[in-house]
Amino acid sequence: MSNTTQTTTSGGPWWLSTNFALTVSMLVGSIFVGFDKVDAQAGVASIAGVIAAVGAIREKVKGVDFKGWLKNSNTWAYIGTIVVTFVPAIPAELFTNLGEIAANAIGGNWQGILVGIFSLGTILYQLFKPKTTPVKA
């Protein structure tokens, strides 16, 4: 019985590896461990926003046309992350529906557009409806 192990390498530069990216992200995240809660939340939100912005730009730079970029679910995930990090009251589900509406509008699917608009309307209603206060007996 052999005790050898097989390793694989990607052949690319070490700074482009997934493990290096994960290590750097853990390092950056660990910087905020000793901060108080408000400062740490602001720091992590800023980093997440920057990472999402780079991801959204990367999706466009990969060579897709504008319609293809708008149809891509990753694009809407990145845009949603950017907006939600700066305005935390906005639900992330809003951007999933916006992405579906955009994809259906580009494809000419009117039924999908209407379903997306109703779903979006429900989310916006729940976001902006007045909060009721319980009546004390």
What DSSP state is assigned to residue 48? H
Sorted by where each begins, the domain ranges of the chain are: 34-128
Q: pLDDT tens, position by position, for the chain (137 residues)?
A: 556 555 555 567 877 776 777 777 777 777 766 777 777 777 777 787 888 888 888 878 877 788 888 877 778 888 887 887 777 767 767 777 787 888 888 888 888 888 888 887 887 777 777 777 777 76
State the DSSP string of 84-126.
Answer: HHH-TTS-THHHHHHHHHHHHHHHT-HHHHHHHHHHHHHHHHH
State the DSSP string of 14-30.
Answer: GGGSHHHHHHHHHHHHH
pTM: 0.53
CA torsion angle 32 16 55 26 (round to 10)? -20
Residue type, 116: G
